[in-house]
C-alpha cells in the first residue's frame, strides 16, 4: 500500500506563489472552450513570470447535456441552482473569485451572484472594456439565441459602456447559429460550410454598420479568427480569460 504524508502535501500546497489569487472556473459548457480558457490562463501566467509558474485554478466541470436540456425546457431557476452550487464548491476549495466559462450562463448571473460567497467575473465587462479600447460604439453580436435575443449581454454593454449591439435580423438565422453552437461546435465538429455561413452572417451585420464583431459564444473562436475578417473581432473566450489573468495577478480588471 502507498503511504503518504498529509503534512508534506500541505507544505507543497503552501509553496504556491503568494502573490497569485486562486480563481475558480465553472466549465464544461462546452469542455472544448473550457480547454481554451485553461490553456490561455496557464500560458499567460507562464509568460508573465518567464518560467513554468502555473496559476492556482479550481475547476468545476458541469454536465453540458443536462444544461442544454434545462435550457430547452426554460428551467433557468434550475440552471441558476447548478451554478450557485458550483460557486459554493469553488469557495470551499479556496477560490477568491469565479467565472462562467461561457456567455449564455450570464443570463442568470445576478441570481447566482446574489447567492455566491465570492465575486463572479462578468464576461460583459471583459467585452465592454475591449470594445471601448478600440474606440467602437456599434458592434455585431452572434451567439446562442439567448445571448442574441435577451439583454443580459447587450444591456451591460449599453448601460455601462455605451455600446450599441446589432444581431442578425431574421429569426431563422439566429436559430441556425444557435443550432450550430449546440449541435456542432460544442461537440468539436468544425465544417467548412458552417464557417462560410457564419462569415456570411457577419458580412450582413458589417454591411448594416457593425464596426466590429463580438463572438458571443465561447465556441465561435474554434472556427472563426481575426484573419477571416476585415473588421475587429472580439474573442470573448480570450477576453474573459485575460480578465481572469488580471484577477490572478491582482491587476485592475
CA–CA distance, 80 with 70 (Å, rounded to integer): 10
Helix (H) or strand (E) holding 168: none
194 and 220 together in one domain: yes
215 has which bridge partners?
142, 235
Query: Which residue in 215, 116, 209, 205 sits closest to 169, CA to CA?
Result: 205
pLDDT of residue 4: 46
pLDDT of residue 177: 97
1 is a domain residue? no
128 and 115 together in one domain: no
253 is a domain residue? no
79 and 137 together in one domain: no
pLDDT of residue 181: 92
Mean pLDDT, residues 57-61: 98
pLDDT of residue 19: 85
195 and 228 together in one domain: yes
Asked if residue 103 has pLDDT above 80, the reply is: yes
pLDDT of residue 16: 60
132 and 73 together in one domain: no
Asked if residue 193 has pLDDT above 90, the reply is: yes
HSE of 64 in the Cβ direction (CA atoms, 13 Å)? 18
217 alpha-carbon distance from chain centroid: 7
The total of structural domains in the chain comes to: 2
Mean pLDDT, residues 200-211: 97
Cell 460557486 appears where?
Answer: 87
Mean pLDDT, residues 133-151: 96
Q: Quote the domain boundaries for residue 31.
A: 6-122+240-248
48 is a domain residue? yes
- Per residue in 14-40, pLDDT tens? 456 768 999 999 999 889 889 999 999
Asked if residue 63 has pLDDT above 70, the reply is: yes
Beta strands in 74-163 (DSSP E): 97-100, 138-142
115 and 156 together in one domain: no
172 and 213 together in one domain: yes
pLDDT of residue 29: 85
Amino acid at each position: 500500500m502507498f503511504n503518504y504524508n498529509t503534512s508534506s502535501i500541505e507544505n507543497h500546497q503552501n509553496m504556491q506563489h503568494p502573490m497569485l489569487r486562486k480563481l475558480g472556473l465553472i466549465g464544461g459548457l462546452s469542455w472544448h472552450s473550457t480547454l481554451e480558457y485553461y490553456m490561455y490562463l496557464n500560458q499567460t501566467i507562464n509568460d508573465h513570470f518567464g518560467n513554468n509558474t502555473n496559476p492556482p485554478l479550481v475547476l468545476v466541470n458541469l454536465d453540458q447535456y443536462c444544461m442544454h436540456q434545462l435550457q430547452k425546457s426554460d428551467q433557468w431557476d434550475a440552471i441558476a441552482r447548478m451554478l450557485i452550487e458550483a460557486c459554493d464548491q469553488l469557495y470551499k476549495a479556496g477560490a477568491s473569485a469565479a467565472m462562467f466559462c461561457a456567455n449564455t450562463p450570464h443570463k442568470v448571473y445576478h441570481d447566482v451572484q446574489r447567492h455566491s460567497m465570492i465575486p463572479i467575473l462578468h464576461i460583459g465587462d471583459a467585452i465592454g472594456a475591449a470594445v471601448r479600447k478600440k474606440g467602437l460604439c456599434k458592434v455585431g453580436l452572434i451567439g446562442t439565441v439567448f445571448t442574441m435575443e435577451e439583454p443580459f449581454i447587450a444591456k451591460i454593454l449599453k448601460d455601462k459602456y455605451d455600446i450599441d449591439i446589432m444581431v442578425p435580423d431574421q429569426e431563422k438565422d439566429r436559430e441556425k447559429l444557435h443550432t450550430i453552437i449546440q449541435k456542432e461546435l460544442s461537440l468539436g465538429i468544425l465544417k467548412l460550410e458552417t464557417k462560410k455561413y457564419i462569415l456570411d452572417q457577419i458580412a450582413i451585420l458589417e454591411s448594416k454598420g457593425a464596426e466590429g464583431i463580438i463572438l458571443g459564444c465561447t465556441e465561435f473562436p474554434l472556427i472563426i479568427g481575426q484573419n477571416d475578417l476585415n473588421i475587429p473581432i472580439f474573442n470573448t473566450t480570450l477576453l474573459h480569460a485575460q480578465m481572469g489573468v488580471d484577477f490572478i495577478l491582482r491587476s485592475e480588471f
